Structure 1
Amino acid sequence: MKENTVDIQTLETIFNSMVRVMDQSKNDIFIISEQSRKNFEDMQKELAEVKVDISRVITEGDYLESMTRHSRLRLADVSKNFTNYSEAQVREAYEVANDLLVKLSINQMEEKQLRIRRDELDRRLNALLETIERANHLVGQVTTVINYLNMDLKDVGEALETARHKQEFGIRIIQAQEDERKRISRDIHDGPAQMLANVMIRSGLIEKTFVEKGPELALLELTDLKEMVRGALYEVRRIIYDLRPMALDDLGLIPTLRKYLSTVEEYESGVEIHFQNTGRELRFKTDFEVSIFRLVQESVSNALKHGKSKDIWVKIEWLRDIMNIIIKDSGQGFDQNEVKDKSFGLIGMRERIELLKGEMSITSTIGNGTIIYFRIPLREEIIAD
């Protein structure tokens, strides 16, 4: 019986060649990531310039609209009292009015083009960010594989265990994303879609009621329909806010939070939200403003959904180099030892606060409500230019 033999040198050559190819692939991916990052930074600068231009054009537009109104009044007066003005004055009134109208039209066109460019840059930035994240993820994966191939055999078990944990966490993230998609789909189906279907039915009934029973009963039905439409509008706004608060880019963190909390208070029957903001407000870069908004949104949502609270206090305090956020409720509270890190909401909040290099603490006992405290350092790299 012939014995199987293994050419160790050949295996070593193949092994080393595989490691070299993977290392080169890692370098190539890293170069792509760095190029994308540079494009991302350049595009961010361009976006900032475009936003400055939009602000300038809006200001100029307001001025031109005011001047155009004055010129029209002047032109109307000249046309009405034609005999009181010289030919030169009449011509001047017409020319000034026409010139301002042309400038206003150009201004409006420029504003529209700038807004289109801003939206395009936003989309491209999101695509680039996704490319960078994927490239970084691939670099991490390739590096992990290379390390596995080069490490001592005694470390393989530990490395595989680490990889298993990463895979499990990745699966949990994917499951959470799928659950979120299902939730949004269910929210739209059970909320606005059902309400709009009912609106169609009720509108037909109102028409029939008006014909058969008169305007008074039809008016009562119309009042109910108005409440139904109002509820559908609230559901749509809530879903949009859950996806992304669009007002953040234009208004900033504090006005957007104030608007969000006011909307929650308006549509959550019997709920009172006390909002307090002290100190000099700052604007953060987009990703960080979204992260801070989500921290408050998740905290308020938990107070309503799980805490069943009717009173919620949101306090934001701006200090010299620290931003403090306190969310307190009078709800049911929970057992911290029991919940701990099992909640995806708490996991997401901790990930966001780590991104901000801040601190988070939760104090809660059953029956005594919950207090969530965020401490965020005002680092230069998170503050908008």
Structure 2
Amino acid sequence: MDKAAIDIQKLEGIFDSMVNVMDQSKNDIFMISEQSRRSFESMQRELILVKEDISRVITEGDHLEEMTRHSRRRLADVSKNFVNYSEQEVRKAYEVANDLLVRLSVNRMEEKQLRIQRDDLDRRLAELLETIERADQLVNQVSTVVTYLTSDLKDVGEALETARHKQDFAIRIIQAQEEERKRVSREIHDGPAQMMASVLIRSGLIEKVYEQKGPKQALAEFQDLKEMVRSSLYEVRRIIYDLRPMAIDDLGVVPTLKKYLSTLMEYEPDVRIHFQSIGEDRRFESSFEIAVFRLVQESVNNAIKHGSSRDVWVKVEWLRETMNAIVKDNGSGFDQNEVKEKSFGIIGMKERIDLLKGDFKITSEVGKGTSVFFKIPFNPDSMGK
């Protein structure tokens, strides 16, 4: 008995130590990713300045080239008719032409160096981006393993009683959570965060534009800045809405779906979504309503993303004891015999339906689109107050 107890304690100690090491490794990788990301952003700002310098040098070079051509014509005229000019005028014509040639040569050298610097920054940015993506992937993988170990394998007896497909689904759920966190982080970083960084840089340039090019050009820059801020606000609102449609708590399923599908068509201008609600829609408990919303959302997104559909039909039917919904598209469809274990989206939808004690059916054929049908029964616990 004592020996068995000691062995279990040792096993638990080894297990905890392993988890701690993996967790620390995840943090180290995350720090590398963040340092690389800061370097990436700093290098992006440097690249913007280098490109501005290149534009300035090219403009100066064009002006110098025009002046050089003029000085050459002047020098040719003086040389041809030198008897008509004084010695001082001849010397000045030579000096001006030579000075302009030197300045043009320096300008071309500066342009060449700036272009080399720009190309080097582009190459380093690409390498840094690859490092960031690989680090993010490693953090995601380690987080998945650590979460799975601490939540599913801590109690070995319970883990052994769990069916294999349930374990696989648990891992996929964790992966999906990590992917979702990474997606939201990336959307914020690549969208609003980048826009705000650009706003900061552009706001600093407006004063220089005003001094160098006048108020009219500065006003144009300011208008562009306003559009950039407006776009940032739009992106933030879109990300918040994707995380949880706040209107569903106030309005219910049907109005929220109408708003979501209308917004989706703005993001996907080539797609037409036809929505129809039959019968008197009702209010339900919040988790029930969000589950229905997510089922329709997942079906529509699959139709657009995987089915490349251009028309999607969404119909919701409210009966006395059930709510029926069908999402149909005219996309590429798929072979249902080939979509099994890897169809994580379909597995997730089935899990939602099972929790709601409903029925779920998908029919699809290659080249002939897909139809998703689900029926959810009402019960007293799900009804809104």
Contact 1:275 1:313 (8 Å CA) reproduced = yes
Q: Distance in 2 between matches of 1:330 and 1:268?
A: 16
Offset of residue 282 of structure 1: 0.5
The letter for the 1-side match of 2:235 is E
Offset of residue 311 of structure 1: 2.1
The letter for the 2-side match of 1:318 is W
Contact 1:326 1:373 (8 Å CA) reproduced = yes
Over 3 Å counting, the alpha-carbon distance change for 1:368 and 1:257 in structure 2 is same
User: How many residues align structurally?
Assistant: 240
Contact 2:172 2:344 (8 Å CA) reproduced = no
Matched ranges for 1:237-248 at <5 A: 237-248=237-248
Offset of residue 281 of structure 1: 0.9
1:267 matched to 2:247? The reply is no
Contact 1:234 1:267 (8 Å CA) reproduced = no
1:295 matched to 2:289? The reply is no
SS of residue paired to 1:349 = helix
Over 3 Å counting, the alpha-carbon distance change for 1:271 and 1:215 in structure 2 is farther
Paired-residue identity, %:
65
Offset of residue 197 of structure 1: 1.9
Contact 2:209 2:218 (8 Å CA) reproduced = yes
SS of residue paired to 1:368 = coil
Q: Distance in 2 between matches of 1:201 and 1:331?
A: 44
Matched ranges for 1:153-192 at <5 A: 160=160, 162=162, 166-192=166-192
- RMSD, aligned CA: 3.4
The letter for the 1-side match of 2:361 is S
1:280 matched to 2:285? The reply is no
1:335 matched to 2:324? The reply is no
Contact 1:360 1:375 (8 Å CA) reproduced = yes
Over 3 Å counting, the alpha-carbon distance change for 1:261 and 1:166 in structure 2 is closer
Over 3 Å counting, the alpha-carbon distance change for 1:281 and 1:163 in structure 2 is closer
Contact 1:312 1:327 (8 Å CA) reproduced = yes
Contact 1:333 1:364 (8 Å CA) reproduced = yes
**Gap regions ≥5 residues in structure 1:** 1-9, 16-136, 149-158
Aligned equivalent of 1:196:
196
Per-residue Cα deviation, 1:43-64 (whole angstroms, up to 9, x for no partner): xxxxxxxxxxxxxxxxxxxxxx
1:372 matched to 2:372? The reply is yes
Offset of residue 287 of structure 1: 0.8
The letter for the 2-side match of 1:172 is R
Q: Distance in 2 between matches of 1:271 and 1:226?
A: 29
Offset of residue 366 of structure 1: 2.7
Offset of residue 330 of structure 1: 2.5
SS of residue paired to 1:357 = coil
Q: Distance in 2 between matches of 1:169 and 1:286?
A: 25
Offset of residue 278 of structure 1: 1.6
Matched ranges for 1:206-245 at <5 A: 206=206, 208-209=208-209, 212-213=212-213, 217=217, 221=221, 224-225=224-225, 227-245=227-245
The letter for the 1-side match of 2:276 is Q
Over 3 Å counting, the alpha-carbon distance change for 1:160 and 1:291 in structure 2 is same
Over 3 Å counting, the alpha-carbon distance change for 1:167 and 1:192 in structure 2 is same
Q: Distance in 1 between matches of 2:321 and 2:246?
A: 27
Contact 1:307 1:331 (8 Å CA) reproduced = yes
Over 3 Å counting, the alpha-carbon distance change for 1:309 and 1:164 in structure 2 is closer
Per-residue Cα deviation, 1:80-119 (whole angstroms, up to 9, x for no partner): xxxxxxxxxxxxxxxxxxxxxxxxxxxxxxxxxxxxxxxx
Q: TM-score, normalised by structure 2?
A: 0.54
Aligned equivalent of 1:255:
255
Over 3 Å counting, the alpha-carbon distance change for 1:229 and 1:314 in structure 2 is farther
The letter for the 1-side match of 2:281 is E
Over 3 Å counting, the alpha-carbon distance change for 1:163 and 1:362 in structure 2 is closer
The letter for the 2-side match of 1:249 is D
SS of residue paired to 2:371 = strand
Q: TM-score, normalised by structure 1?
A: 0.54
Over 3 Å counting, the alpha-carbon distance change for 1:207 and 1:278 in structure 2 is farther
Offset of residue 272 of structure 1: 2.0
Q: Distance in 1 between matches of 2:221 and 2:363?
A: 48
Q: Distance in 1 between matches of 2:314 and 2:275?
A: 5
Offset of residue 215 of structure 1: 5.8
Over 3 Å counting, the alpha-carbon distance change for 1:353 and 1:165 in structure 2 is closer
Q: Distance in 2 between matches of 1:208 and 1:269?
A: 38
Q: Distance in 2 between matches of 1:302 and 1:351?
A: 17
Aligned equivalent of 1:383:
383
